[in-house]
Amino acid sequence: MSAFPGFAPATPAAAVPPEADEDEPDPRQAHPQLSSESRPATIFPVYDWPDDQEPGSEPIGFSDLEPIPLPEARTNARILRRKELRRRRREQVRRGALVLAVVAVVTGLVALLAAPAGRLVDNATGRGNASTRNGAAPGAAPGVAPQPVPIVAPVLLAYQDAAGRASALTVLVPSAGGKGGTLLLVPPGTMAEVVSLGLEPVRQSLELGGPTRLQATVENLLGAPLGAVVVVDDAGLTNLLAPAGPLPVTVPERVERVNPNGRVEVLYEAGANTLAPAGAGRFLSAKGRENDLARLARHQVFFEAWLARLGTRPAAIPGGSPELNAAIGALAAGPLDTRLLPVEAFGTAGDGGELYKVRADELSRLVAGVFPSSAGQGLTGRPRLQVLNGTGALEVADKVRAKLGAGYDVRLTGNAANFEYERTEIVFYDRDQEAVADRLRQALGVGALVFSRRPLDVVDVTVIVGKDFRP
């Protein structure tokens, strides 16, 4: 056994290391950096050479190795100095930020105290009102924030002609600010689901169930709540218009009708006309040789002339229904936009009236942009429902729709296979609609979720109303 000289051999503790040659320099003197305190504690491996191959007896000294430069040792004092410098820099940054914040606050207070009282300008009217420095309206207590303007609810104004038909259906939608808004003209022949009665023209809902059923039908069609439905006949319309007096209207096209004797009678010439309050009913209902969509152009000029007059004569705003009074006052106080319900003709009814179907995507965008507090996004964004009566009770589907509100689109109604359903079932046809069905169950307060593998494309969920349902 032989070992590299200068290192402790791997021998028992009793063994004595061989003595170095007298001429061989002490490695600790040749390399002072390898003192007994700093020398690495690395032990080289010990090799067991065969007797006939043992290397020569000449020892290998440290003088034969290249000196290895070691990195400069860092003292504790140097490390502490660097830590102290970093701490001082952080302290300076914190002090600077605090000074800047104090300067900004003081500058803002000085500017606020020095600013004169301003004026609040209404974008719609251009009129200004003096304001106090704290933003309150004149006369308001200091520090009291102005109250938000309440949203005026939309109102459906329906004109019923002498034959009992709904000849004009107009939704008055005030803007969110309470000044101005939108007139939405609804063709009376628009097909819609009349809950519990099936698919019918909207005008039929008034004849079949009065204002309540008309309101439910229009809310279900639009996906937006209405504050009220006001139905007027010839006498009621005359009373509404009387305070405003005769109105100047511009008729888009000549209005004619053919009398029973075959003679053509001109009702209104194209261009400027004066409309007396007592003649407004005929102006709105006369069809002439036009279709319903052309007749709605006359509805537009009538309402725009009336609201323009009320804008200059607020005292002429009619009384009666508080909801209608508020909606008319809001629309007369600001800019007005007139929109037609997006429909397309697809047939003719038995009485000769045109029938129209709604363009769902356009209606969705219209409702989202026009109704400030719409409950849905028109037809596209609402879950489509089928409601089936499983109890035999009357008007069950109407009560379900009333409880759900305008956030659901009731597409189909009818009777279930029998009237023995003790528990309401909420059937969905796609796993993706399970969350919708569960929200519907929570809204109704009753029901069990049922998954059906028979797809039904026209609706997303079917509600089979059981005896546990409570309106």
**Predicted pLDDT at 426:** 94
279 is in which domain, residue-wise?
Answer: 155-370
- The alpha-helical segments, DSSP class H, found in 313-433 are 322-332, 360-370, 396-404
pLDDT, residue 38, reads 40
Distance CA(172)–CA(153), nearest Å, equals 9
**H helices present in 318-433, as ranges:** 322-332, 360-370, 396-404
Residue 8 lies in a domain: no
pLDDT at 102: 62
CATH of the domain at 252: 3.40.630.190
Task: Give me the pLDDT at residue 230, please.
Answer: 95
User: Residue 158, exposed/middle/buried by CB under 10 A (0-12, 13-18, 19+)?
Assistant: buried
Predicted local confidence at residue 148, as pLDDT:
45
The enclosing H or E element of 184 equals strand 181-186
Q: Do 164 and 251 lie in a common domain?
A: yes
Do 388 and 440 belong together in one domain? Answer: yes
DSSP state of 416: -
pLDDT of amino acid 195 = 86
pLDDT for res 47:
41
Question: Does residue 211 fall inside a structural domain?
Answer: yes
Q: How much is the pLDDT for 178?
A: 86
In this structure, the answer to whether residues 315 and 359 fall within a common structural domain is yes
347, 396: one domain: no
300 and 397 fall within a common domain: no
* 45 located within any domain: no
- 390 lies in the same domain as 366: no
Instruction: Please indicate, yes or no, if residue 56 is contained in any of the structural domains.
Output: no
Q: What is the tally of structural domains in the chain? A: 2
Rounded (10°) CA dihedral 430, 435, 438, 440 = -90
Q: Is residue 357 part of a domain?
A: yes
Residue 238 Rama label (left phi>0; alpha psi -120 to 50; beta) = alpha
Pick out the chain residues at pLDDT < 50.
1-75, 110-149, 375-379
Beta bridge partners of 357: 344
Query: CA 212 to CA 171: how far, in whole Å?
Result: 15
**Residues 366 and 391 placed together within one structural domain of the fold:** no
> How high is the pLDDT of residue 260?
83
Closest CA to 161 of 351, 356, 355, 398: 351
Q: What is the pLDDT of residue 271?
A: 93
Instruction: Give the chain's length.
Output: 471
Residues 233 and 288 in one domain: yes
Q: What is the CATH number of the domain that holds 417?
A: 3.30.70.2390
Start-to-end CA distance of the chain, whole Å, equals: 103
Residues 262, 196, single domain; the answer is: yes
Cα separation, 355 vs 270, in Å, equals 26
Q: What value, to the nearest 5°, has the Cα angle with vertex 328 and ends 322 and 333?
A: 125
The fraction of the chain above a pLDDT of 90, given in percent, is 42
Can you give the pLDDT at residue 350? 76
- Distance separating alpha carbons of residues 312 and 129, to the nearest angstrom: 20
Whether 240 and 164 map to the same domain: the answer is yes
Question: What's the token pair of residue 357?
Answer: 């179907």
Give the residue from 329, 344, 370 where a domain finishes: 370
Q: Where are the beta strands (DSSP E) in 285-375?
A: 336-340, 343-348, 354-358
In a domain, 29, yes or no: no
Same domain, residue pair 388 and 359: no
Residue 154 C-beta-side C-alpha neighbours within 13 Å: 27
H-run or E-run covering 427: strand 425-428
